[in-house]
Homo-oligomer: A and B are copies of this chain.
Amino acid sequence: MQITEVREASHYIASPMRNAVIDFSQMTVSLVALITDVRVHGKRVVGFGFNSNGRYAQSGLLRERFFPRLLAAAPDSLSDAAGELDPWRIHQALLENEKPGGHGERSVAVGIIDMAVWDALAKAHDIPVAVYLAERFGRERPLDSVSVYAAGGYYHPDGDLTSLRREIRSYLDLGYTRVKMKIGGAPLDEDLRRIEAVIQEVGEPGRVAVDANGRFSAAEAIRYGEALAPLDLAWYEEPVDPLDYASLSDVAASYPGPLATGENIFSTPDALNLARYGGLRVSTDILQMDPALSYGVVEYARMLDALRACGWSESDQIPHGGHQLNLALGAAFRLGGIESYPGVFEPFGGFADDQAVEDGFVGWPEVPGVGLEAKAGLRPLLAELWSE
């Protein structure tokens, strides 16, 4: 099994939303096709990968560094003893001559290729990637469905409480039972009114999480935390800069409920620093590293191993990014849950068309690979990159 060609296209996944820090009107995504020399049922095995939302397309890094390295590597050096593509050796080849530290952007680019590799491998075995991942990592059969929450509650350009409640109601109507909303883009009293409205809509504060997207200073985060604590929310996410472990630790010391962070942590060394210095509390707090933004499954599995040594288990992990690779990992690794952004970042975001959310859980499709082909909206974009 060899890679014969790689292709990439960049697409806009613009949304009219904004959080406390950025707006998403210029958000882009790279879609990669990794073409192999293998055929299954007469059809060429092509692995597809894309980057998770929040960071941008990586056309430049892919074309300047990572595709050339992949194609320059001796095919044998990218394969295991059985002659199959080896995600670990590919990871190593991609990071050849990359210095340590500085884990941003390139972690996204490598994550895209990693997703395409797992997609190709599962397709070569003619099984869903959730099943393939469980087998490769020596786990039990994957869960049939994974706990999923709806991330929304953005600051709409013309947003008011009525439109916010309508947005949240639409998630509940879709089958979600837990939601997350943005805070920190408005004054505290306005945010508290927004939170109260969402709690009323959802019916239970424990099913509502809030996300400050790293916007607050320690003092602001603690002040917000004091106001939020009595509400008993599901969690309080990214109160401070994602790398400001000292401030996070101060927040953790004063906020009794669950904190969540990690979507802007892209490597094992960074994840370990978060665990060591962030003051987070095992089995209370939630880690949200997104494999697709963090060099892919190979690095994510290393991260989980490293975190396990610090007491964190798979059930503490609820990855950022509402995409099918995380759904498969959630099922295979039995993670605490996954995120979803209903209706936005389409057609890349979201799950297979035939997999409705039911009572807060979503299943993976019975198709070979990650399941991108199981989304009608994606098929034309896949076909632009590859068709036989």
Contact = CB atoms under 8 A, between A and B. Distances in A.
A100 B276 CA distance: 20
A244 B269 contact: yes
A246 interface: yes
A99 interface: yes
Contact of A277 (B100, B267, B276): B276
Interface string A88-126: 000000001111111111110000000000000000000
A65 interface: yes
Chain A, interface residues (CB within 8 Å), range = 35 or more
Contacts of A56: 64-65
Contact of A270 (B22, B57, B243, B246): B243
B59 A64 contact: yes
A21 B100 contact: yes
A186 interface: no
A109 to B, nearest CB: 9
A236 to B, nearest CB: 17
Interface string A14-28: 000000011110101
A257 interface: no
A213 interface: yes
Given A59-B64, A244-B269, A23 B104 contact: no
Top 7 A-B pairs, shortest CB-CB distance: A60-B60, A101-B264, A102-B104, A105-B105, A104-B104, A243-B269, A101-B242
